[in-house]
């Protein structure tokens, strides 16, 4: 177990917090060694420009607010931004659209992230009242609720379990370099699922954890977004 991760979880528990913030979840993912895309936190429009130059265009802009539940649906996510001018415009539009849907939201900042393209996967865990901790693997991204192309197993899982989960995904052909998309490194995917399973065993007070999307890129898997919910 990582003492820094344990400390973050204990602080959140003592604060009565069950849903971790975006920054807290990303920090835990980073400390645990999960593969993440590049990300910087900005406080305002000018800071966004500074951080975008640090990462390099194209970038993704995301609003940071514990009050904004569905970022994509409220205009809180802008992708494939390729210039300073586009970033300024995206920032202005985001403030208007988010406040229109969440007028009382407190916006604490913005994340500037590396733009990553590829097949999107979901690796998630939840706690079933009857069976206990479970892990899910499937096609992710914004359409996860539409396609529901997900395979489940009880935690802990082994390599054989993960291979079976991959085989059960209806869209598994997408992992084979479909229409020019990068082909998934199956060994890397297996390793990541096993890592998530072990992580949940180490921190049993985590009720749910979603890595969505995990993007299959030419250089390997990258986790773009993460959500952690405590018991």
Phi-psi region of 148 (alpha: psi -120 to 50; beta: other; left: phi over 0): left
Quote the CATH superfamily of domain 39-114: ATP-grasp fold, A domain (3.30.1490.20)
d(CA 49, CA 110): 11
d(CA 42, CA 45): 8
Are the CB atoms for 148 and 122 separated by under 8 Å?
A: no
d(CA 194, CA 155): 9
CATH pick for 3-36+117-230 out of 3.30.2270.10, 3.40.50.150, 3.20.20.150, 3.30.470.20: 3.30.470.20
**Average pLDDT of 24-39?**
96
Query: Dihedrals φ, ψ of 152, to 5°?
Result: -120, 150
pLDDT tens digit sequence for 43-84:
999 999 999 999 999 999 999 998 887 888 899 999 999 999
For residue 135, what pLDDT band results from cuts at 50, 70 and 90? Answer: very high
Are the CB atoms for 189 and 195 separated by under 8 Å?
A: no
What residues are paired with 121 via a beta bridge? Answer: 139, 214
Asked if the model's pLDDT at residue 142 lies above 70, the reply is no
d(CA 34, CA 48): 25
Asked if the model's pLDDT at residue 146 lies above 70, the reply is no
d(CA 187, CA 185): 6
**CB within 8 Å of 41: residues ≥ 6 apart:** 23, 51, 64, 109, 110, 111, 112
Burial class, 132, CB count within 10 angstroms (exposed 0-12 / middle 13-18 / buried 19+): exposed
d(CA 173, CA 166): 10
- The pLDDT of residue 143 is 64
**Average pLDDT of 169-176?**
90
Residue spans of the domains in the chain: they are: 3-36+117-230, 39-114
Asked if the model's pLDDT at residue 178 lies above 90, the reply is no
pLDDT tens digit sequence for 4-30:
999 999 999 999 999 998 889 999 999
Asked if the model's pLDDT at residue 34 lies above 90, the reply is yes
Burial class, 41, CB count within 10 angstroms (exposed 0-12 / middle 13-18 / buried 19+): middle
**Average pLDDT of 119-132?**
94
**Average pLDDT of 173-194?**
91
d(CA 126, CA 206): 9
């Amino acid at each position: 177990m990582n003492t820094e991760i344990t400390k973050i979880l204990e602080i959140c528990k003592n604060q009565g917090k069950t849903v971790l913030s975006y920054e807290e979840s990303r920090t835990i993912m980073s400390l645990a060694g999960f593969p993440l895309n590049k990300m910087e936190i900005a406080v305002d429009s000018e800071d966004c420009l500074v951080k975008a130059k640090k990462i390099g265009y194209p970038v993704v802009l995301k609003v940071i607010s514990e009050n904004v539940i569905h970022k994509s649906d409220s205009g809180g996510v802008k992708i494939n931004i390729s210039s300073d001018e586009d970033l300024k415009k995206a920032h202005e539009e985001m403030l208007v659209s988010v406040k229109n849907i969440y007028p009382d939201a407190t916006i604490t900042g913005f994340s500037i992230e590396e733009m990553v393209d590829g097949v999107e996967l979901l690796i998630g865990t939840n706690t079933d009242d009857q069976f206990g901790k479970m892990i899910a693997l499937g096609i992710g991204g914004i359409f996860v609720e539409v396609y529901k192309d997900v395979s489940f197993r009880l935690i802990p899982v082994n390599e054989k379990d993960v291979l079976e989960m991959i085989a059960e995904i209806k869209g598994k052909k997408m992992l084979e370099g479909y229409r020019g998309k990068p082909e998934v490194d199956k060994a890397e995917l297996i390793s990541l699922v096993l890592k998530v399973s072990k992580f949940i065993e180490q921190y049993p007070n985590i009720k749910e954890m979603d890595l969505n999307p995990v993007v299959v890129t030419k250089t390997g898997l990258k986790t773009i977004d993460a959500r952690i919910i405590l018991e």
